[in-house]
């Protein structure tokens, strides 16, 4: 009936039906409705079961694409997500999480990231990506040749760089174009961070930028 049991991770104060507030401490379980559960899960206050999460987040036509060297997250199928191990970049589902070499991410984080590329009121983000490091700029990474190409394409190298090892992508005309261009660049041996910036800033993409360390907060949640 839209009510789920959740387990407290950080203290949560809730209004009690009998009046006043009741505080739940780490390890306590309580029941709450869908919307409250979603807010509490997303803020890292509570956790719940994969079955509840997969139902609540409606994974639908979504999956995880593992590029060469990516680590397969645990429990992917339990969350209703499909999984494909394929070195080649592609968008096999309406919403695809592309994990690259070295990417290590919990399935909860994958699912929460997918919620950023849901379509809300007719508009929505097409892709969600974390920044690599808040201090790191395009001028600080890659070869001189790559920097020169980016400078030529974008006009400046004082751009924050993205962590391209984890990409949440909704399949749209713009992301299909982006993917084809990104794949071409990578197959030609381009530096991934520079290639991503060059393509991103030569055409508009509805990108939801996540702060560096976003995954750290949710890793293992």
Partner 1 sequence: MAYGRKAKNEAAKSIESLRQYHDWSVRVVDESDWPDRGAPGRWAKVNLDKLTRWEQTLFLDADTRVRGRLDAGFRLLDAGYELVMVPSRPQHNEALRHLRSDEERKATLREVGVDPLQLNTGVMWFSKAAGPLFEVWREEWERWKDKDQGALLRALERHPVGVALLGWPFNDEHGEVVEHRFGACGG
**Sheet (strand 29-33) strand order:** 29-33, 3-8, 46-47
Asked whether position 173 contacts partner 1 by CB under 8 A, the answer is: no
Asked whether position 204 contacts partner 1 by CB under 8 A, the answer is: yes
Q: Which residue has the tokens 């055409």?
A: 203
Token pair of 59 as six digits: 């994974």
Asked whether position 14 contacts partner 1 by CB under 8 A, the answer is: no
Three-class DSSP category at 204: coil
DSSP states along 173-197 = HHHHHHHHHHHHHHHTT--HHHHHH
Q: Which of 31, 39, 88, 102 binds partner 1 (CB under 8 A)?
A: 39
Nearer to partner 1, 67 or 170 (CB): 170
Q: Which of 33, 211, 219, 220 binds partner 1 (CB under 8 A)?
A: 211
Asked whether position 102 contacts partner 1 by CB under 8 A, the answer is: no
Asked whether position 209 contacts partner 1 by CB under 8 A, the answer is: yes
CB of 92 vs partner 1, minimal distance in Å: 24
Question: Judged by CB under 8 A, which stretch of 14-22, 52-60, 87-95, 155-163 contacts partner 1?
Answer: 155-163
Q: Which of 156, 177, 184, 187 binds partner 1 (CB under 8 A)?
A: 156
Asked whether position 207 contacts partner 1 by CB under 8 A, the answer is: yes
Q: Which of 52, 83, 90, 154 binds partner 1 (CB under 8 A)?
A: 154
- Taking every pair of C-alpha atoms in the chain, what is the biggest distance, in angstroms? 68
**CA triple 208-119-168, angle to 5 deg:** 45
Q: Which of 3, 31, 61, 134 binds partner 1 (CB under 8 A)?
A: 134
Q: Which of 155, 173, 188, 189 binds partner 1 (CB under 8 A)?
A: 155
Q: Which residue has the tokens 């990104």?
A: 182
Report the distance separating Cα 90 and Cα 123, nearest Å. 23
Asked whether position 135 contacts partner 1 by CB under 8 A, the answer is: yes
List phi, psi (to 5°) of 36.
-65, -40
Token pair of 18 as six digits: 């009998």
Token pair of 214 as six digits: 């976003």
**Residue 191's Cα: distance from chain center in Å?**
21
Report the distance separating Cα 195 and Cα 185, nearest Å. 6
Q: Which of 34, 104, 106, 115 binds partner 1 (CB under 8 A)?
A: 115
Asked whether position 92 contacts partner 1 by CB under 8 A, the answer is: no
Binding site for partner 1 (CB under 8 A): 39, 42-44, 112, 115-116, 120-121, 123-125, 131, 134-135, 137, 154-156, 158-160, 200-214, 217-218
């Amino acid at each position: 009936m839209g009510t789920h049991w959740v387990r407290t991770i950080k203290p949560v104060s809730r209004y009690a039906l009998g009046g006043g507030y009741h505080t739940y401490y780490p390890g306590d379980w309580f029941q709450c409705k869908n919307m409250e559960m979603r807010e509490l899960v997303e803020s890292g206050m509570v956790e719940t079961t994969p079955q509840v999460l997969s139902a609540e987040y409606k994974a639908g036509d979504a999956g995880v694409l593992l590029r060469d060297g990516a680590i397969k997250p645990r429990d992917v199928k339990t969350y209703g997500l499909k999984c494909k191990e394929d070195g080649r970049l592609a968008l096999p589902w309406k919403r695809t999480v592309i994990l690259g070499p070295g990417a290590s991410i919990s399935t909860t984080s994958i699912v929460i990231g997918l919620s950023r590329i849901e379509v809300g009121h007719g508009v929505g983000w097409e892709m969600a990506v974390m920044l690599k490091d808040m201090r790191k700029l395009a001028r600080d990474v890659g070869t001189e040749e790559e920097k020169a190409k980016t400078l030529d394409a974008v006009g400046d190298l004082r751009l924050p760089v993205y962590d391209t090892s984890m990409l949440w992508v909704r399949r749209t005309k713009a992301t299909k174009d982006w993917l084809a261009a990104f794949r071409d660049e990578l197959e030609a041996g381009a530096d991934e961070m520079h290639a991503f910036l060059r393509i991103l800033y030569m055409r508009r993409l509805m990108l939801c930028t996540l702060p560096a360390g976003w995954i750290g907060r949710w890793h293992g949640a």
